[in-house]
Amino acid sequence: MLARSRTIGALVLFAASAANGSNWVSNFAGSAEDYRVVRDRETIAIEQLMLLLPGDVVIIDRPDGRIVLVDDNNEYRNLARSDTPFVVPESKSPPQLLVNVRNWLSSWWSTRGNQNTSSMAAVSRGGLDPAISAPAAEINFLLSGARALHVAWQGGIEPFDITLFSGTGEVLVHEADLAGNEAILPEVILHNGQYRLQVSAGDADNSVALDVVETDRLPEAANAILNLDVPAEIGYGHVAMILSAYENWRFEAFQIANQYKLTQLTLDLRTGDFPESEFVETTSGPDSAEVERPALQDNP
């Protein structure tokens, strides 16, 4: 496990309504090196869910490159190379909470040698027993509702079986004779309560406990984001970033990261490389002071 404590800026809940017109990077084709954002004469690396500021210049260097922007009105803008340089128009400021989350995780990524999403790959630890990726706690929280769980694992020998059990031991989902090291299970309605997820390879198996809960059990900052008037992929993407720091919530973070194709965060969670630090949550206003924080305690 590569998780480690580190110094981060305080994450603050800022009581502000969502601003109209903010532009975010939804997705892009190919590698991040194929794109440039010029801000105040400096070139900035592009990232998924990146906030673009008014006056930023977006440049596509790849001939067949394509970048998709989304604004707070949930309107999408598809840019090809012929559409650039594209100057981001004037807009109101986005919710401060999203800015703080973005800066916090970007700071974490920057400590690892400026790796890019196209060159990173999941690492298999091997071994005879399959180990389910992302969960690391005795109990892993998961939000209730209709869920098609994305399950990844490392080690073991094909073929694999995946089984989702209810708290009473009833088999809810069973997928057999699987190849590779990941699968998306059929959609199932998950109500509040206890479940068990198991991956088997012959006589070897690995299982984790899931505790299905409502959104009011989310950490305060994550719950606040869900109440913002922003596009779903922006809101849930930032929620996944926050949840990646909470041991009990990493399986849910992994689900969201996969759903919204957050490549780097997905790979970090699969390989056990993620931030583990405490958030300072207040409603007093923005605070950018750097403080040393201990590892997070389990979410109650």
**pLDDT tens per residue across span 91-117:** 777 777 777 777 766 665 555 444 433
| pTM tops 0.85 | no
**1 located within any domain:** no
In the chain, alpha helices (H)? 96-110, 220-226, 232-243, 250-259, 263-271
Residue 128 within a domain: yes
50 and 84 in a common domain? yes
Contacts of 65 (CB under 8 A, 6+ apart): 28, 29, 30, 34, 35, 80, 81
**Radius of gyration over alpha carbons of the chain, in Å?**
20
Domain assignment of residue 108, yes or no: no
Give yes or no: residues 144 and 275 share one domain: yes
Report if residue 35 sits inside a domain: yes
Q: Please indicate, yes or no, whether residues 85 and 42 belong to a single structural domain of this protein.
A: yes
* Residue from 91, 79, 89 nearest 35 by CA: 79
Distance separating alpha carbons of residues 209 and 187, to the nearest angstrom: 18
Range of the domain at 48: 19-94
How many domains would you assign to the chain?
2
In a domain, 258, yes or no: yes
Residue 228 belongs to a domain: yes
Residues 199 and 249 in one domain: yes
Domain stop point among 94, 109, 127 = 94
Q: Per-residue pLDDT averaged across 75-95, rounded?
A: 87
Quick one: 81 and 143 in the same domain?
no
Cα separation, 207 vs 282, whole angstroms: 37
Residues 129 and 40 in one domain: no
Assigned token pair, 205? 């198996």
Which of 166-175, 222-231, 291-300 is predicted with the least confidence, judged by mean pLDDT? 291-300
Task: Report yes or no on 144 lying in a domain.
Answer: yes
CB atoms near residue 298 (< 10 Å): 12
**Does residue 104 lie in a domain region?**
no
Bond into 85 cis (ω within 30): yes
